[in-house]
Each structure stands twice: as C-alpha cells, then as structure tokens.
Amino acid sequence: MTEDDQKQRLARLEARLAKAKKAQEPKPRVDEHYSQANLAWRMVIELVAGLGIGFSIGYGLDSLFGTIPILLVTFTLLGLAAGVKTMLRSAKEIQEKIEADEALKQTKAEKAAQTTRADEPAREDERD
C-alpha cells in the first residue's frame, strides 16, 4: 500500500466520521409550539402568583400596622385583580400569535393557488 492510498483511505474515513457525527447532532428547534396544558398552567401560575404576592403584602402591612383584616383583604383582592389582568394579557398574546400564524398560512395558500392558476394556461398551450 502506498502513502497516497493511505491518505485517500484516511480522507474517506474522516468524511464518513464527519457525516456520522453530523447525523447524530440534535436538530435545532426552529419553532416551539406550546400545548394547551402548558398555556393553562402558565395562566394558573400567574393568577396564583398575583394572589400570593397580594396576600403577603397585605399580611405584612397588617402585622406592621396592627390592622389585621383590612389590608390583608384589600391587597389580596388587588393581587387577584393583578393576576387576572396578567392572565388576560397572556391570553391576548397567545391569541395574536395564533392569528398571525393562521394569516401566514392563508397567505401562503393564496400564493400557491395563484401560482397554480398562472401555470394552467401555459400547460393548455403546450397541449395544443
């Protein structure tokens, strides 16, 4: 075996190894879609976080000032309102993303239909 043959074999082996490594690499995530359960849990966590923060602030201020139920109830309700507002904002964001995806799909479908219609007369001319 000559040195050139060995170099060629080594080059082929390196190419095969590179190809095998590339095939085993994890594919990058291009677009991440959330399931309905993930979105629901996100909203529940936002609501509970708002309630918890409001309750904590109210309890802390009540303990500090000695007005046991007043600030606790007030800040718990404010926390609930903040949690609901955050949930609604998240729902609106998700809805806008869904609508944008649907509009993009519809636009692509319309362009494909126009391309198909534009190709049809040319095909009829070819038949004649």
Q: Give 62's pLDDT tier (boundaries 50, 70, 90).
A: very high
What are the structure tokens assigned to 85, written together?
A: 């507002």
Please state, as a whole number, how many other Cβ atoms lie within 10 Å of the Cβ of residue 57. 17
Parse the chain into domains and list their residue ranges: 36-108
Average pLDDT on 68-77 reads 95
Contact 54, 76 (CB under 8 A): yes
Does the pLDDT at position 116 exceed 80?
Answer: no
Distance CA 13, CA 8 (A): 9
What are the structure tokens assigned to 43, written together?
A: 């909203």
What are the structure tokens assigned to 101, written together?
A: 């995806």
Does the pLDDT at position 125 exceed 60?
Answer: no
Which phi-psi region, left, alpha or beta, contains residue 66 (left: φ > 0; alpha: ψ -120 to 50)? left
Element (H, E) at 22: helix 3-24
Query: CB within 8 A of 53, min separation 6: which ones?
Result: 79, 82
SS3 1: coil
Does this model's pTM top 0.85?
Answer: no
Question: pLDDT tens across 13-37, in order?
Answer: 999 988 888 888 777 665 566 688 9
Least confident of 26-35, 45-54, 75-84, 119-128: 119-128
